[in-house]
Structure 1
Amino acid sequence: MRKVHPEFAYQARELEGQIEGILGDPPDHKNYKKMVEALRTEYVNGGGIDDLNMMAFALVDVIEFHDPKAAFADAEDFEYGDPARVFGAATCPKAEGLLEALEENHPDLARQAIITALLHKHPRMWDDEDTSLDRLAEGDEGDDEDDYADDVATDDFTGIFDQQED
């Protein structure tokens, strides 16, 4: 299992929710297909929304990974990475010109969208960083609980709050 940047894990979960939300209950595959096609057309024509989830949504059903390890190598760093390596690891034979347009017009954001789509498509190949309180407390001996025991308020200070009328 590979560790991925927490933001990529978050984006992959968001993509799942977005797909489910657009499909609806019961699933409306016709509406879903229209939305995805409209997004892809916008991106191929050089436009489209500068949004990571929208790009991942446009890619997720048509992207194929011939070198997923190369794309996974970039999943550890959300902000900085090698767009060329990530673009080189994928193809979109069902959406001609999509990857090329994204690489030309939005290379860094599209790199993140490709990795998000990869994580969505291969959820068993990666592991989210554990940021639970139990995990964060590991190794903490709790010795900071009494650090302030010696800091006792003086009578002058407490007297401010204990004013009595004469």
Structure 2
Amino acid sequence: MRRVHPEFAFQARELAEQIEGILGDPPDRKNYKAMTQALVTEYANGGGIEDLNMMAFALVDVIDIAEPKTLLADAEDFEFGDPARVFAAVSCPEGEPARMLAAIEENHLELGRQAIVTAFLHKHPRMWDDDDTSLDQLAEGDEGDDDEEEGGASEEFTQMFDQEGER
């Protein structure tokens, strides 16, 4: 398991929730396919929303990963990666998906790098791990403050508000 940047881990989880939300319950594959096709077309035409998860959503089903180790290495740093290496590590099938990937590389280089890594992490969750920063995990092993006295406020604290003691 390789650790990834917390923001990439967050984005991969967000992408999973977005996909689940679009699919719905029960899953509506026709709606899902229409949504992804609309995004692919929009990005292939040079447009599209400048949003990491929307871009990753457009890429996730059509992207082919040739070099997963390159993408894992890039996932360690969210802001400062190597877009050229990331784009060289992936491809898309001929036609509109390939045009989409080329347009993203041309128009949204850094955001595209992040979207590719996010899509990769979503597709391969067993290849990476992130730090669990949930409150339950942070509190594990913590037995509370040992410095506080049991039984209420100290005498020094109560004297600060004692009106009669000042006279």
Residue aligned with 1:76, SS:
coil
Cα displacement (A) at 1:146: 3.5
User: Which residue, out of 92, 101, 104, partners 1:102?
Assistant: 104
Gaps of 5+ in 2: 149-154
Matches of 2:67 and 2:26, distance apart in 1: 35
SS of residue in 2 equivalent to 1:49: coil
Q: Runs (4+) of structure 1 moved beyond 3 Å?
A: 132-140, 144-147, 152-155
Q: Deviation string for 1:2-53 (max 9, x for gaps)?
A: 1101111111111111111001111111111111111111111111101000
Query: Distance between the aligned counterparts of 2:137 and 2:36, measured in 1?
Result: 39
Counterpart for residue 152 of structure 2: none
- Of 100, 103, 120, the residue aligned with 2:122 is 120
- CA drift of 1:137 comes to 7.0
Question: What is the DSSP-based 3-state SS (H/G/I as helix, E as strand, rest coil) of the residue aligned with 1:130?
Answer: coil
Note the alpha carbon deviations across 1:104-141, whole angstroms, 9 max, x for none.
1001111011001000111111011233557657999x
Q: Is 1:19 aligned with 2:19?
A: yes
Percent identical among aligned pairs is: 71
Tell me, in whole angstroms, the C-alpha distance in 1 between the residues paired with 2:141 and 2:21.
41
- The residue correspondences of 1:39-118 to structure 2 (distance < 5 A) are 39-93=39-93, 95-118=97-120
Q: Normalising by structure 2, what TM-score?
A: 0.83
Separation (CA, whole Å) in 2 of partners of 1:66 and 1:42: 25
Kindly provide the amino acid, as one letter, of the partner of residue 91 in structure 2: T
- Residues 55-86 of structure 1 show CA distances to partners (whole Å, capped at 9, x for unaligned) of 00000000010111111110000111000010
Q: In the alignment, what sits opposite 1:34?
A: 34
TM-score when scaled to structure 1? 0.83
Deviation at 1:93, TM superposition (A): 0.8
Change (3 A) 1:109 1:134: same
**Secondary structure of the structure 1 residue equivalent to 2:129:** strand
> Counterparts of 1:135 and 1:36 in 2: how far apart (Å)?
36
Q: What runs of 5+ residues in structure 1 fail to find an aligned partner?
A: none
Per the alignment, in what secondary structure is the counterpart of residue 3 of structure 2?
strand
Change (3 A) 1:22 1:81: same
Q: What is the letter of the counterpart of residue 13 of structure 2?
A: R
